[in-house]
Structure 1
Amino acid sequence: MVNQKLFSRSVLYGLRYFGLLVVLFFLSRLIFLITFGNWVELKEYKVGVLKAFLTGARFDVSAICYVFLPVVLLWLAAIWIPKKKEVSFLKYYRCFIDIYLFIALIVLLSLQIIDYFYYQFFQSHIDILFFGIFKDDTVAVLNSVWTDYPIFKIITCYLLAIFIFVWLNKKSEISNRMGNTRTLKMNFWLLLLVFPLFFIGMRGSIGVFTLKRDHTNISSNSFVNSLCYNAVYALKYANSELKNNSIEPDYNLELTSNGYASIGDLSDKYDNFIVESYDDELLMKTKYDSFIDENPPNVVFVLMESMSNHYFELNSKDLNVLGDLADELPNLYYFKNGLSAFNGTIYTLENLLVNTPKNIISQSAYYDVSFSSSVARPFKQKGYDTSFLTGANTSWRNVDKFIMHQGFDRVEGKPFIEEKYPDASSFAWGVHDEYLFDYIRERLEDNKEKPQFIFALTISNHTPFEVPNRENLYPIKMNEEIRGMIRVDEKMAYDNFYAHQYAANHLARFIRDIRESEFGENTIVVATGDHNIRQVFEYSDVNAFLKKSVPILFYIPEKYKPSYFDENLYVSHKDIFPTIFNLSLSNQKYVYSGDDMFKKSEGYRFALNNYDFIADSLGVVTMEGAEPVYYKWENGSRGKLKLGSVKEKHAIFMMEKMKSFKTLQTTQLYLDIENSRGSKKMVFR
């Protein structure tokens, strides 16, 4: 017999907690809007914001419905419970509800808090970078969290949520008063609607398609679109992105899944208007130069933690974020329109080392593959001594084992530097930059018989921004305009400004010391940021390029200087090592990854970030959201962007160039993996 009363009582009791979770998600979205929204910009998108909240409610209800699935199954069971067992069922039902939904509340609140601070740091909801946190130096991460984030405010949020839950629990009794028989039947039939509504809620839609990322594409403004997300769906999409980015080395599948009939078809589509051509094995060769043959230069490449083009632009006498580097810039070639490979250190590091669109190789089953695209390989083939040096622990992300398979003679980090300099200051992530630069100079001094290639990674400009001897740095003072631009508290902003200045200072002093020493005539120094720091300033759509922009700097001795230089070229990390090879190596083959920045050419030049953001002299295409978006430069030059049409001919050209370049690099990577595992040799045609 149908137990109408028990079913009705169970549903009404549970729906109160459903409402509580709806309020939690709504308040999270409202706080997100108030904290991160640019109110001047959003005045034009009032309708979009309203649509975002309505769409966001669909995502929220969908997430809550999935959480409530076990509860709904108990509602269904309540219909068939005999009356004699009502008391026992209600006892266990309430116990389950109280414990299960309390845990659910804490988990959902935790996800919302994590997503909030993740956005504050990366200006993005939880994405693929999030999973790297669990593979990072756990102690260092926890140290950064404790230092950078308002732990006591976060604890207060938890206490408030717990208080409301307990209060609601005490106020909520499973009512036994259901009215007369007629009212009871009416309530029963009305409450039965919970099942179809619950099914619709899970789907998030009554149409053919279930709720998906495309539904967030409601506005031309990316922030408005970001309001649609909640932490649960952000994590879901990040996990999908992680799976899509997993390394599954199927050479032919990579071609066909991207719409290319053959490698020849791919090559034909990519080669259109490019600066330089490659052979059938994706190889290029530097020109023969008798002087370089007889006088091979040392090459020091420095990947600077969070060095930002934005900070280069902001630098002034008062806001001194460059320190001595500002005075050293006239001695350098500075490419001002540069993009980082990715937006996280390990991703950028791997990309620079082996030209990989796929990450993270060092923690995959393929960490021991010796990739033909390794930037150390051309130097080794020319008799260079090769080193990877860093102030960090080299076991971080298993990079030591990965790098040792890429043609490096040594991989040395924190323990080696501390052994050399026992008084070296350090922090959560390792030894500070000044000691790393001292160590590089020592390495150059200790081995003058062979030319050296040194790949260095700095770490000081990293949260929690604890630089040594801050009193010895140049003073920094924010004016009211800068204060109005920052999105963090002043202390954190100042800490970051000083950390950036500290790192820039020691880079400048290293370059100056090299320039003024015996190595000044035969040592090339190249430096760039691994990614822009996105924690301090808000970047709107019109500043999308600046959000991802990093400086690319070259110190080149007189005898090796190029004949052509255009500081306004659109370049990115993909172009750095092709440029270095052409500066330092004679008649040497290397795997194509980009263009020589010092080569005068009418060919098509583009900058690339994350393999979903491409920029050139006409504009930007970004595929970060549910749909691609095309922006044009205002006034025909880099600066601010304005919305264009993705259907324009040039936008379509840019998207094809980005897709074909990524596929080209991925197939080469997969070819190396297949060959290393004993697969049949496949020639690039």
Structure 2
Amino acid sequence: MPTFNVKLPMILSLLLIFLALYVLALRGHFSYVAMRAGNYRFSKIESFNSLALNPLMSFSFALRDYQKDTLDLKPANMERLEELSKIFPLFSTTPKNDFALKNPPHIMVNLMESFGTQMLSLQEGNLNLLGELAQHFEEDFVWTRFLPCQNGTASSFFCLFFQSPIVLSKSKYKEHYLPFIPIEVYKQQGYRVIFLTAGNSTWSDLGFFMKAQGADEIIDEVALLQDYPNSSKIHFHSHYGVGDEFMYQKALELLSSAKEPLLILTLSVSNHPPYPEVPILFSKEQIPLEIFDKIPKNTSAILNTYVYANNEFARFLSKVKQSELKDKLIIAATGDHRVRGVAMDFNTEKALAYGVPFYLYVPKAYQGEIVYDKTRIGSHKDIFPTLYALTLSETRFLHLGGRNLLETQENDKFAFGFNAEVWIDNEGIYPRSSNLGYKYKDNQSLLSTEESFALDEEHLEFHKIYQEFLELQLRYKLLNLAQ
């Protein structure tokens, strides 16, 4: 039998090579960033994604989630829920809508990363931060006296799409089904539901949770990278996903080829630090000096990425309006939270600093009898009630104090906007940390003054009571109905 005389330097070299390969294997799949719990999905074939996670990584991810999961909810106190339901009805029913019943439209609800209203207040002269979206803001319905329900992406995502004030996807409830949410409402009406994002669906396990709630298809950066090879170029590919434009391209393809009514729930990612390389519309020299006081860091990147995101959504809207889809697609869009790099002025921006716009495109045939008042107060709680009224007929839905913003008569009882840090009504602005209310500078915006006024007991307790109501209805859906 032949023998090999391997010298010590060779043995050490081989050991180092094998060690390096082992470390690379532990690191996970190579794409553009080290594999993490929020981006381990890299293939449409889920078995490949499972194989990519070595045992140590899988255990590490699971242990981290377990250690962070302190959520232990108790069933709702039904007596208290019924008491609060007298203030905020738990359920309501849409009016009769024969046209929508016979002609169910496609619906797209676009949650846009960092689409904050505060940024739009910085526009002046040639500094057009709406970009090409300005045309559509003029043509369609827009409310800017509007708040997101939360101040983070995952938390606003859960609040808007799952009517949950708590992010559940990293908790022990991540496989629990939530009844009455928009996915269920539309699936019961024959809709196919698609979650489409320019990011990775493993981020915060949003894709997994969407599947658990009945979404028919999940499309994320993995599919977009394969369908549009150009999206992998550094110009488009960021830390959080591919360029928003490829998400809109996919949405247009899905809608154009659909044989059944679609509800597409989208989440954009481009307008998020670290910012991707985007076309430079405003160089440092073109930006007014006072903007640098408002946005002291990454000024050019923040402005240009904000406009890039707006432009890509606007181009999608323009293509829709030039196609057959213009008569059978309703599009809603809002922001998840403010642009974090913009400084707050609490003298004038007690509410504006947290605000996001609500944009709505509705074909003429689906408008029916409506009244559009762009000064109406609202928040994320009002988006689906508005859509339900436009698209469904005599359908029961979870109300939660939401209202149709296009209803013919203003309902003052539900004319409020709610955010985790501030709430608003027609009379004023009420920061959660204050015992005073503050007057608006005008009735066209969320700008505030320093003029304060004392609050009655109802206003003093409102934020706390509504938050309690949101948590109780979640526990009712999550636990009581499962018993």
* Shared fold (TM-score, shorter chain, > 0.5): yes
Is 1:546 matched up with 2:356? Answer: no
Identify the residue that residue 564 of structure 1 maps to in structure 2: 371
Identify the residue that residue 191 of structure 2 maps to in structure 1: 384
C-alpha distance in structure 1 between counterparts of 2:214 and 2:428, whole Å: 38
C-alpha distance in structure 1 between counterparts of 2:72 and 2:149, whole Å: 18
Identify the residue that residue 438 of structure 1 maps to in structure 2: 249
C-alpha distance in structure 2 between counterparts of 1:510 and 1:532, whole Å: 23
Per-residue CA deviations over 1:339-398 (Å, capped at 9, x if unaligned) read 0111110000010111112x2201111111211232111110110111000011101111
Report SS of the residue matched to 2:404.
coil
Alpha-carbon deviation of 1:288?
1.7
Report SS of the residue matched to 1:356.
coil
Identify the residue that residue 225 of structure 2 maps to in structure 1: 418
Alignment equivalent of 2:447, drawn from 633, 639, 659: 639
Alignment equivalent of 1:519, drawn from 325, 330, 341: 325
Report SS of the residue matched to 2:230.
coil
Alpha-carbon deviation of 1:603?
2.4
Alpha-carbon deviation of 1:266?
2.2
Report SS of the residue matched to 1:642.
strand
Is 1:581 matched up with 2:388? Answer: yes
Report SS of the residue matched to 2:111.
strand
Alignment equivalent of 1:292, drawn from 96, 100, 111: 100
Counterparts of 1:238-387 in structure 2, within 5 Å, are: 246-252=71-77, 262-268=80-86, 270-271=87-88, 278=89, 282-357=90-165, 359-387=166-194
Report which structure shows greater RCO (CA 8 Å, sep ≥6): 2
C-alpha distance in structure 2 between counterparts of 1:653 and 1:404, whole Å: 40
1:501–1:374 CA distance, 2 compared to 1 (3 A): same
Indicate the RMSD between aligned Cα atoms, in angstroms. 2.3
1:430–1:138 CA distance, 2 compared to 1 (3 A): closer
Alpha-carbon deviation of 1:298?
0.5
Aligned length: 411
1:482–1:618 CA distance, 2 compared to 1 (3 A): same
Identify the residue that residue 422 of structure 2 maps to in structure 1: 613
Identify the residue that residue 49 of structure 1 maps to in structure 2: none
Report SS of the residue matched to 1:537.
coil
Alpha-carbon deviation of 1:334?
0.6
Could you tell me whether the CA contact under 8 Å between 2:71 and 2:171 is conserved in 1?
A: no
- Structure 1: runs of 5 or more not aligned: 1-134, 140-241, 256-260, 272-277, 680-685
C-alpha distance in structure 1 between counterparts of 2:449 and 2:190, whole Å: 46
Report SS of the residue matched to 1:431.
coil
1:589–1:267 CA distance, 2 compared to 1 (3 A): closer
Report SS of the residue matched to 1:569.
coil
| AA in 1 matched with 2:113 | E
C-alpha distance in structure 2 between counterparts of 1:508 and 1:316, whole Å: 20
C-alpha distance in structure 1 between counterparts of 2:200 and 2:268, whole Å: 11
| AA in 1 matched with 2:257 | D
1:294–1:346 CA distance, 2 compared to 1 (3 A): same
Identify the residue that residue 601 of structure 1 maps to in structure 2: 410
C-alpha distance in structure 2 between counterparts of 1:635 and 1:343, whole Å: 25
C-alpha distance in structure 2 between counterparts of 1:602 and 1:360, whole Å: 30
Following TM superposition, where does structure 1 have runs of at least 4 consecutive aligned residues deviating by more than 6 angstroms? Answer: none
C-alpha distance in structure 1 between counterparts of 2:306 and 2:442, whole Å: 31
Could you tell me whether the CA contact under 8 Å between 1:460 and 1:467 is conserved in 2?
A: no
Is 1:529 matched up with 2:338? Answer: no
Per-residue CA deviations over 1:474-493 (Å, capped at 9, x if unaligned) read 7682223323333x23xx11
Task: Point out the structure with the larger helix share.
Answer: 1
1:250–1:579 CA distance, 2 compared to 1 (3 A): same
Is 1:461 matched up with 2:271? Answer: yes
Alignment equivalent of 1:481, drawn from 290, 308, 325: 290
Could you tell me whether the CA contact under 8 Å between 1:297 and 1:522 is conserved in 2?
A: yes
C-alpha distance in structure 2 between counterparts of 1:499 and 1:572, whole Å: 25
- Structure 2: runs of 5 or more not aligned: 1-35, 41-67
Could you tell me whether the CA contact under 8 Å between 1:354 and 1:374 is conserved in 2?
A: yes
| AA in 2 matched with 1:479 | P
C-alpha distance in structure 1 between counterparts of 2:391 and 2:383, whole Å: 12
1:493–1:298 CA distance, 2 compared to 1 (3 A): same
Alpha-carbon deviation of 1:589?
1.6
C-alpha distance in structure 2 between counterparts of 1:659 and 1:392, whole Å: 34
Alpha-carbon deviation of 1:521?
0.3
Identify the residue that residue 669 of structure 1 maps to in structure 2: 474
Could you tell me whether the CA contact under 8 Å between 2:111 and 2:267 is conserved in 1?
A: yes
Alpha-carbon deviation of 1:399?
1.1
Report SS of the residue matched to 2:332.
strand
Identify the residue that residue 205 of structure 1 maps to in structure 2: none
Could you tell me whether the CA contact under 8 Å between 2:122 and 2:291 is conserved in 1?
A: no
Alpha-carbon deviation of 1:634?
3.9
| AA in 1 matched with 2:204 | R
1:475–1:334 CA distance, 2 compared to 1 (3 A): farther
Alpha-carbon deviation of 1:263?
3.2
C-alpha distance in structure 2 between counterparts of 1:467 and 1:556, whole Å: 33
C-alpha distance in structure 2 between counterparts of 1:513 and 1:616, whole Å: 36
Alpha-carbon deviation of 1:137?
4.2
Per-residue CA deviations over 1:247-267 (Å, capped at 9, x if unaligned) read 513312xx7xxxxx6333323
Per-residue CA deviations over 1:57-110 (Å, capped at 9, x if unaligned) read xxxxxxxxxxxxxxxxxxxxxxxxxxxxxxxxxxxxxxxxxxxxxxxxxxxxxx
C-alpha distance in structure 1 between counterparts of 2:37 and 2:128, whole Å: 31
Alpha-carbon deviation of 1:558?
1.0
Identify the residue that residue 591 of structure 1 maps to in structure 2: 398
1:643–1:361 CA distance, 2 compared to 1 (3 A): farther
